[in-house]
């Protein structure tokens, strides 16, 4: 991972490539369960993105430690 990308992770949330949940974008909500499902889908996408980023960082750290 490039140095600029690492600095961005430390200084902002712009590196998170999952759109924020927008409550105004609920045109297809017909029941509370629809809302729950939409929120759950968003949280799953966000969580998977963050887990993958953590794995990427851990791999780089392991590679660095093995070279040292």
- What are the boundaries of each domain within the chain? 31-68
Distance CA 57, CA 61 (A): 6
Q: Write the DSSP symbol of residue 1.
A: -
pLDDT for the residue 45:
95
Q: Write the DSSP symbol of residue 16.
A: -
- pLDDT tens per residue, range 2-59: 889 999 999 999 899 898 888 887 888 889 999 999 999 999 999 999 999 999 999 9
pTM, two decimals, is 0.79
């Amino acid at each position: 991972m490039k140095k600029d990308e690492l600095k961005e992770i430390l200084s902002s949330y712009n590196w998170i490539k999952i759109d924020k949940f927008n409550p105004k974008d609920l045109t297809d909500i017909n029941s509370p369960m629809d809302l729950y499902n939409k929120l759950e889908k968003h949280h799953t996408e966000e969580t998977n993105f963050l887990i993958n980023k953590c794995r990427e960082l851990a791999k780089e750290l392991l590679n660095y430690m093995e070279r040292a």
